[in-house]
Amino acid sequence: MRYESHIVLREDKQLIVLTHLSQLVVFVIGFGSLILPLILWLVNKDKVYQMDEHGKHIVNFQLSILIYTIICIPLVFIGIGILGILALLVISLVFPIINAVKASNGETPKYPLSLSFIS
């Protein structure tokens, strides 16, 4: 257990790992890559040590991916959008897995192309 601001937070690396991996739900059901981790973060950010930090990184990453995807859609008509969408798909698959492994080792996540909406 960790103490932050006189509140006892429990350590739960498994839940943090699950929150990173929950982004991959989009590859199973087609949506939810922002919704599921957002819910997990909001419910547990004041209960689990480091959940707030990890959750912010995940939500910033998912919002950034959403914006980049919206930008790529009209670019499909000139050909470059397809490459952008494919690159975003690969990034959206690979980095949640990499950061889940980092989280299990107690490391801070790093998501590429992530804009800072929530700090």
**Residue 117 belongs to some domain of the structure:** no
Given the structure tokens 């959750």, which residue do they identify?
55
Given the structure tokens 């998501």, which residue do they identify?
111
Domain hosting 16: range is: 2-104
**Residue 93 belongs to some domain of the structure:** yes
What's the pLDDT tens digit per position in 81-109?
999 999 999 999 999 999 999 999 999 99
pTM for the predicted model, two decimal places: 0.90
Fill in the amino acid letter for 119: S
**Residue 110 belongs to some domain of the structure:** no
**Residue 69 belongs to some domain of the structure:** yes
Nearest to 84 by CA among 96, 92, 72, 74: 72
Q: How far apart are CA 44 and CA 25, in angstroms?
A: 19
Give residue 7's pLDDT band: very low, low, confident or very high (50, 70, 90). Answer: confident
Q: Report whether 41 contacts 12 (CB < 8 A).
A: no
Q: What percent of the chain has pLDDT over 90?
A: 88
Give residue 1's pLDDT band: very low, low, confident or very high (50, 70, 90). Answer: low
**Residue 115 belongs to some domain of the structure:** no
**Residue 85 belongs to some domain of the structure:** yes
**Residue 116 belongs to some domain of the structure:** no
In the chain, how many domains are there?
A: 1
pLDDT of residue 44: 97
Detail the DSSP E strand segments found in the chain: 2-4, 7-9
**Residue 118 belongs to some domain of the structure:** no
